[in-house]
Amino acid sequence: MAKRPTVLVTRKLPAAVEARLERDYDARLNPDDSELDTEALLRAAEGADAIMPCHSEGFPAEVIARLPEGVKIIANFSVGTDHVDLAAAKKRGVVVTNTPEVLNDATAEVTMLLMLGAARRASEGERLVRAGGWKTWSPAFMVGTQVTGKTVGIVGMGRVGKVVAERCRGFEMKVHYHDQRRLPAEIEKGAVFHETLESLLAVADFVTMHCPNTPETRGLINKDTIAAMKDGVIFVNAARGTIVVEDDLIAALKSRKIKAAGLDVFQNEPFIDERWADIENVFLLPHVGSATAETRDAMGFRALDNLDAYFAGREPGDRVA
């Protein structure tokens, strides 16, 4: 019997995904879900044919250069690939894949949760009830912003952005968007296209980010683009923390230029800026956009489909390098 490929799995994955790994591969699992630093990762990769990492493991050029010779494919358990130097991997001859599409619904759901949570002051209300501070009611008590019928500005009308647009239509919201190019009318479905980000920001009551982490998008939300937003806008980010200059967003929240924000992603997560804990008008989540049982299974199966294709001599469907 031919030797089964050895796959290093860097984090604990759903039971069904690990069962398929053990059935089809010589799987090196991580049952304790311990974090691997660079040196531990490189040691664990000795003798492996493939690595199945998450976004929590970094593969910059210097790590790609030190990978054991036997590692031929990095099959990411993530849709984002900004943790992997794709050019370095391609130069080294290491195939890289990701898991697109299967996260769309779950991330769109979290986007709506962030939007509603920020607009309706969910964090403030939840803390008040838990602390026993809810003692009375009046017409002025915990008044928030209504979502229904407002204008939403979607920055990045890709896979997730399109699903968010559909969910927003369920709230009778007027959908506007900015992207590199306009969508065909049948996909646009009446959404209003803005060639410039500033044009979109000027009309949106809610701004929600759905663009990847690229050199062009890093720091896209900063003091200048915030100044272009309507006063009292509500800002949502379930994409990447690198898109935002956090000092500028914090200042805008404190001044109430931005009335409230809903954030699932941050700079330097999970070791985020301590100031976030003291800002009342922000609804915070710990990067759980894809955290449903259905989605995590689907991500694992998609990554395994890519491994299966590669080791069968076929082109992986989700190859990015």
pLDDT digits (tens, 9 = 90+) for 8-19: 999 999 999 999
Decide if 6-102+293-311 and 104-284 have a common fold: yes
DSSP type of residue 104: H
> Rounded distance, CA 237 to CA 244, Å?
9
Would you call 240 a catalytic residue per the annotation? Answer: yes
pLDDT at residue 2 tops 80:
no
Tokens of 163: 């699903």
Q: Position of tokens 């931005």? A: 258
Q: Calculate mean pLDDT across residues 22-35.
A: 97
- Give pTM, 2 decimals: 0.95
CATH topology of domain 6-102+293-311: Rossmann fold (3.40.50)
79 falls in which pLDDT band (50, 70, 90)? very high
Cα–Cα distance, 99 to 272 (Å, whole number): 26
**Is the pLDDT at 31 greater than 80, yes or no?**
yes
Residues paired with 75 in a beta bridge: 97
Structure confidence at residue 82 as a pLDDT band (50, 70, 90): very high
Tokens encoding 178: 């900015």
Alpha helices in the chain (DSSP H): 15-24, 38-44, 61-66, 86-92, 104-119, 122-130, 159-169, 185-188, 197-201, 223-227, 246-255, 293-311
Q: Strand order of the sheet with strand 282-284?
A: 192-194, 174-178, 151-155, 206-209, 233-237, 258-263, 282-284
Known catalytic residue at 166: no
The contacts of residue 81 (CB under 8 Å, 6+ apart) are 96, 98, 320, 321
What is the mean predicted confidence (pLDDT) over 218-237?
Answer: 98
* Cα(253)–Cα(155) distance, integer angstroms: 20
Residue 68 CA to residue 294 CA, distance in Å, equals 33
> How much of the chain exceeds pLDDT 90, in percent?
99
- pLDDT tens per residue across span 301-318: 999 999 999 999 999 999
Q: Does domain 104-284 have CATH number 3.10.20.30?
A: no
Q: Structural domain boundaries of the chain?
A: 6-102+293-311, 104-284
1 pLDDT band, cuts 50/70/90, is low
Closest CA to 239 of 79, 77, 75, 96: 79
**Distance of alpha carbon 5 from alpha carbon 8, whole angstroms:** 10
Catalytic-labelled residue, pool 92, 169, 269, 319: 269
d(C-alpha 161, C-alpha 180), whole Å: 13
| Catalytic annotation present for 28 | no
Q: What is the residue-averaged pLDDT of the chain?
A: 97
Annotated catalytic residue within 178, 287, 296, 302: 287
**The one catalytic residue among 240, 246, 296, 302:** 240
> What pLDDT, on a 0 to 100 scale, did the predictor assign at position 107?
98
- pLDDT per residue as tens digits for the range 93-144: 999 999 999 999 999 999 999 999 999 999 999 999 999 999 999 999 999 9
**Burial annotation 102-135 (CB, 10 A radius, 16+ → b, else e):** bbbbbbbbbbbbbbbbbbbbbbbeeeeeeeeeee
Residue 236 falls in which region: left (phi positive, over 0), alpha (psi -120 to 50) or beta: beta
Per-residue pLDDT tens digits for 284-302: 999 999 999 999 999 999 9
